[in-house]
Amino acid sequence: MSSLTLKAPAKINLFLNILKKREDGYHDIFTLMQKISLYDTLTFFKINEGIVLKTYNTRLPLDRRNLVYQAAELILKEGKIDQGVKIILKKKIPISSGLGGGSSDSASTLLGLNRIYNLNYPPKKLHPLAEKLGSDVPFFLYDQTAIAEGRGERITPVKIFKDYWIILITFPFQVLTSWAYQDIRLNLTTKKDFINIQNLQKKEGFFEVLNFWRNDFEGKIAERYPQVRYALKLLLKLGAKKSSMTGSGPTVYGIFEQEPNKEEVNKLFKSGDWQVFITRPIP
């Protein structure tokens, strides 16, 4: 195999609890993450030596500042590969949006080079490399839905109900994760009591607990950025069973039982300086 194309999906956090600050400066979290059908695309080509990264997005660096480049370096070194790779990255996931695009791209790079160079590493072998790249990266090595704990690196794949629709609202500004964690109100008890995975596989159980779930960043972000709070309200007005924020923001999403009417969505959100995506969980 001399080339390979992979889709790198975005994710949403169905809930995100921040438990405590760790001695290493990170925070312990407890979150449920779901991959969704909004993708970046990466194509990998074997080359004789070096790492060549190409993208049409001028906001992205093409050197070691890019997680994709770092991921390629790590796995080439781990596999003792004396050749290189050319990577073409097509971005669709908004940058720094809380949707995990950079983490997903770097995880896909590990998976892609693992395949084109026939390393045959299982996800558990790639996991330590993913941890070096970022807290969310290990999640994207595994199945479509998972609980993440620790600083995000402890992954437990789970099965839950997925037959619903999602509207994403992304904004033209970014939220610094370091600022989001400053003076955040800690959730001193985990919410494992409402994570009954067996119940979550059924529609009734999923929608019953959905509105008990919270993102601990949401209050702070919505207070500073009123457009976030406004978008959350618009999603409920449109008929969302729940609206929330993903990651440390600023993207918000609404969960709908039925496919949203595109004309109604476009009409309601046409006046804002945001992007709107209609998507679904990956089945």
Half-sphere exposure of 127 (CA within 13 A, CB side): 11
Residues known to be catalytic? 11, 136
Contact 58, 66 (CB under 8 A): no
Sign of CA dihedral 173, 179, 183, 186: positive
Q: How far apart (Å, rounded) are the C-alpha atoms in residues 227 and 241?
A: 20
Angle, CA 9 vertex, CA 148 and CA 95 arms, to 5°: 90
Give Dmax (Cα) for the chain: 56
Cβ contacts of residue 183 below 8 Å, gap of 6+?
none
Q: Determine the 3-state secondary structure of 49 from DSSP.
A: coil
Residues in the chain: 283
The pair of three-digit structure tokens given for residue 10, joined into one six-digit string: 């975005």
Query: Cα 66 vs. chain centroid, distance in angstroms?
Result: 17
Q: How far apart (Å, rounded) are the C-alpha atoms in residues 276 and 251?
A: 10
Please give the helix or strand (H or E) that residue 198 lies within, else none. Answer: helix 197-200
